């Protein structure tokens, strides 16, 4: 029998988690956890639900701190939020492609990240947007940069006694355009085989700053800082975009699986990186 507790506050939830010494699991929407339970791959003795904790279902925005998404906010709430659509359109568009409406209505964005599946759609995008995860425990709170949050498949930087309480995304850089493209070989509602996110700032028709992150192909999203540095100040002509994409694709070690071989995945990485650069470059004109 699973014992589920519904603490009324974050402090209480942190205390319960700490006292369980690793035996309890946090449950938010339950989408990922219930799949494991239904298939008898996981039989939790003790779950701590976040559902009764006030404030975790909030989306907030202010010009100084940017966007805050609480741990109980579902994908659907974020994708349909007017402020997200206006200020972070790439995020709204990215979450619109997560699974299907049932998954997006129940599953939370924070839960998606905490699950640590390497096919997460939002993980690479939140990385280029400079997001941080706020983690709380009885020991206090800390912020974990998104790019350091995923350590391996199903492994995150959260400690055993920590709860991820919110995602904080800073305000966009002036003139920045961001985007997310995904490729799913089976059906559009399937998990992505590849997801690529990028942010581009141009000055005088040249690349002033670019951040790019590739998800799904490897255990954790890969950023390409050195490659992006090499094209700073250049015009993003088709030849430059292609050379950049080829250099990025050559650096990754994709996991071969039923979605494709290592060679195939490197090839689609090259194609999709070229596409996102061309798209953002056009939009930035």
Ligand X SMILES: Cc1cc2nc3c(=O)[nH]c(=O)nc-3n(C[C@H](O)[C@H](O)[C@H](O)COP(=O)(O)OP(=O)(O)OC[C@H]3O[C@@H](n4cnc5c(N)ncnc54)[C@H](O)[C@@H]3O)c2cc1C
Q: Which stretch binds ligand X (CB under 6 A): 59-67, 96-104, 224-232, 275-283?
A: 96-104
Separation of alpha carbons 117 and 35, rounded Å:
13
Q: Which stretch binds ligand X (CB under 6 A): 7-15, 113-121, 225-233, 247-255?
A: 113-121
Among 67, 114, 126, 248, binds ligand X (CB under 6 A): 114
Does 29 engage in binding with ligand X (CB under 6 A)? yes
DSSP codes joined into one string, 6-65: --SSHHHHHHHHHHTTT-EEEESS-HHHHHHHHTTS---SEEEE-TT-TTTT-EEEETTT
> Which of 229, 178, 233, 176 lies closest to 205, judged by CA?
233
C-alpha 15: how far from its chain's center?
28
Does 163 engage in binding with ligand X (CB under 6 A)? yes
C-alpha 120: how far from its chain's center?
6
Strands (E) located in 114-268:
132-137, 140-145, 150-152, 155-156, 163-169, 177-183, 194-203, 206-215, 222-223
Among 7, 66, 70, 99, binds ligand X (CB under 6 A): 99
Separation of alpha carbons 214 and 180, rounded Å:
10
Does 103 engage in binding with ligand X (CB under 6 A)? yes
Query: Which segments of 47-172 does DSSP mark as H helices, in order?
Result: 75-80, 82-87, 89-95, 101-106, 109-115, 122-128
Among 79, 121, 161, 270, binds ligand X (CB under 6 A): 121
Tokens of 40: 């008898």
Q: Which stretch binds ligand X (CB under 6 A): 6-14, 101-109, 137-145, 198-206?
A: 101-109
Q: Which stretch binds ligand X (CB under 6 A): 19-27, 58-66, 196-204, 271-279?
A: 19-27
Nearer to ligand X, 184 or 281 (CB): 184
Does 199 engage in binding with ligand X (CB under 6 A)? no
The two most distant CA atoms of the chain are separated, in Å, by: 64
Question: What residues from 244 to 283 belong to the interface with ligand X (CB under 6 A)?
Answer: none
> Using the 8-state DSSP alphabet, how is residue 117 labeled?
-
Q: Binding marks (x or -) toward ligand X, 122..141, rule CB under 6 A? A: --------------------
* Angle at which helices 262-283 and 238-251 cross, to 10°: 140
Q: Which stretch binds ligand X (CB under 6 A): 105-113, 167-175, 206-214, 259-267?
A: 105-113
Does 69 engage in binding with ligand X (CB under 6 A)? no
Question: What residues from 49 to 68 belong to the interface with ligand X (CB under 6 A)?
Answer: 50
Among 35, 54, 83, 153, binds ligand X (CB under 6 A): 35
Tokens of 163: 């709860």
Nearer to ligand X, 195 or 245 (CB): 195
Does 24 engage in binding with ligand X (CB under 6 A)? no
Site of interaction with ligand X (CB under 6 A): 25-33, 35, 50, 71, 98-99, 103, 106-108, 110-112, 114-115, 120-121, 158, 163-164, 191
């Amino acid at each position: 029998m699973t014992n589920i507790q519904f603490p009324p506050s974050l402090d209480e939830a942190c205390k319960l988690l700490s006292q369980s010494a690793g035996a309890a699991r946090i449950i938010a929407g339950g989408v990922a956890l219930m799949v494991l339970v239904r298939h008898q791959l996981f039989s939790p003795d003790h779950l701590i639900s976040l559902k009764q904790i006030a404030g975790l279902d909030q989306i907030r925005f202010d010009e100084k701190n940017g966007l805050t998404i609480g741990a109980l906010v579902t994908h659907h709430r974020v994708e349909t939020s007017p402020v997200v659509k206006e200020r972070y359109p790439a995020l709204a568009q990215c979450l619109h492609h997560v699974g299907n409406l049932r998954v997006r209505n129940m599953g939370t964005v924070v839960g998606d990240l905490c699950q640590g599946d390497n096919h997460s759609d939002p993980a690479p995008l939140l990385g280029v947007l400079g997001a941080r995860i706020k983690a709380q425990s009885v020991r206090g709170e800390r912020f974990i940069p998104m790019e350091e949050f995923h350590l391996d498949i199903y492994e995150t930087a959260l400690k055993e006694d920590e709860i991820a309480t919110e995602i904080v995304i800073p305000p966009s850089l002036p003139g920045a355009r961001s985007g997310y493209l995904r490729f799913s070989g089976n059906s559009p509602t399937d998990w992505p085989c590849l997801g690529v996110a990028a942010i581009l700032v141009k000055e005088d028709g040249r690349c002033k700053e670019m951040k790019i992150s590739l998800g799904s192909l490897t255990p954790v999203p890969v950023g390409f800082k050195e490659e992006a540095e090499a094209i700073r100040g250049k015009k993003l002509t088709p030849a430059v975009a292609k050379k950049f994409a080829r250099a990025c694709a050559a650096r990754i070690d994709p996991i071969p699986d039923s979605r494709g071989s290592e060679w195939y995945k490197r090839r689609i990485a090259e194609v999709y990186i070229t596409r996102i650069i061309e798209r953002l470059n056009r939009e930035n004109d």
